[in-house]
Amino acid sequence: MRIVGGRLRGRVLKAPASRAIRPTSERLREAIFDILAHAYGGPVEGARAIDLFAGSGALGLEALSRGAEFALFVDNGAEARALLRANIEALGLGGAARVWRADATRLGKAPAAYSLAFLDPPYGKDLARPALTALSEGGWLAKGAIVVVEEDARARVEPPGALSLAEERVYGDTKIAILVAEGTNASLIAREAGDEVERPAR
């Protein structure tokens, strides 16, 4: 596993020892950040990012490499948190990152708001919706924040009231859903991007 873009491009990430952690592939990370750069006005530069179900931290670390100001990595697993700390230390990002042990579906009240969020929950466990609700109701999302959800291609990503679904794209067995918080016109963004929404085949 490597960082695929930004100032840390090519740097190797420590991979998990067990199959309990499923890092986002290099190809999929490149696709996600290309979408953000070209269709959403480049929200990564200077962003405060939160990475839920962080695992190896690949998404949040990629954001830091590409100019994010700070990233909070949230995971409830001991193996994941050890892996996160190892990757953050190896990349010299200790001053721009924090690892927090928490249940991503029960975040509580936010001490600060984030402009960019990543969610990569275990597939097939219906954890995206409660995690999105926790982000929204806890005040974790800034006005107009962009939220990226990685899920199984067959899953339905249903945003809570304060979030709108801008688009979905399917890559093999994975679905990427882009949501936006109140303060952004999701339909206008998707239309201006000129991209067709891809949905899984039935």
Confirm whether 104 is domain-assigned: yes
Confirm whether 12 is domain-assigned: no
- Computed from CA positions of residues 157, 158, 163, 167, in that sequence, does the dihedral angle turn out positive or negative? positive
26 burial (CB, 10 Å; 0-12 / 13-18 / 19+) is middle
Mean pLDDT for the chain overall: 89
Confirm whether 2 is domain-assigned: no
Confirm whether 9 is domain-assigned: no
State the residue range of the domain holding 79.
Answer: 26-193
Q: What is the mean pLDDT of residues 60-78?
A: 97
> pLDDT value at position 15?
82
Confirm whether 168 is domain-assigned: yes
CATH number at residue 111: 3.40.50.150
Confirm whether 5 is domain-assigned: no
Q: Domain tally for the chain? A: 1
Residue 119's contacts (CB-CB under 8 Å, 6 or more residues apart) are 52, 53, 104, 128, 131, 132, 147, 148, 149, 150
The pTM of the full predicted model, rounded to 2 decimals, is 0.88
> pLDDT value at position 184?
52
Confirm whether 198 is domain-assigned: no
Tokens representing 131 are 């995690």
Convert the pLDDT of each residue in 101-142 to its tens digit. Answer: 999 999 999 999 999 999 999 988 999 999 999 999 999 999
Confirm whether 201 is domain-assigned: no
**What is the spatial distance between Cα 127 and Cα 83, in angstroms, rounded to a whole number?**
22
